Amino acid sequence: MPNEAANQEQNFLIDLLRATYQNQEVYLILQHNLSKLNDDLALMFRKWVSDRFTTEFKIITLIHKG
């Protein structure tokens, strides 16, 4: 069950980011997912951003070395 909850939170985060990127209204997404707006989501988002920037940095470093 914990993995299922984590997947739901991750899907919610992806939906929210996608709607933001596409300049869509996010209010309804937030309203329908109030139970997911918690510290776990904040930690998941922080880890996702950290992982993403680490990966991007590695790619950029490889490109500049080549």
Give pLDDT, residue 66.
64
Give pLDDT, residue 53.
87
Domain boundaries along the sequence of the chain: 2-65
**Residues constituting the chain:** 66
> Which residue, 19, 14, 15, is CA-closest to 52?
14
The chain-wide mean pLDDT, for the chain, equals 87
Prediction pTM value: 0.65
Q: What is the CA radius of gyration of the chain?
A: 15
**2-38 per-position pLDDT tens digit:** 688 778 888 998 899 899 999 999 999 999 999 989 8
Measure the CA dihedral 22/28/31/36, to 10°. -40
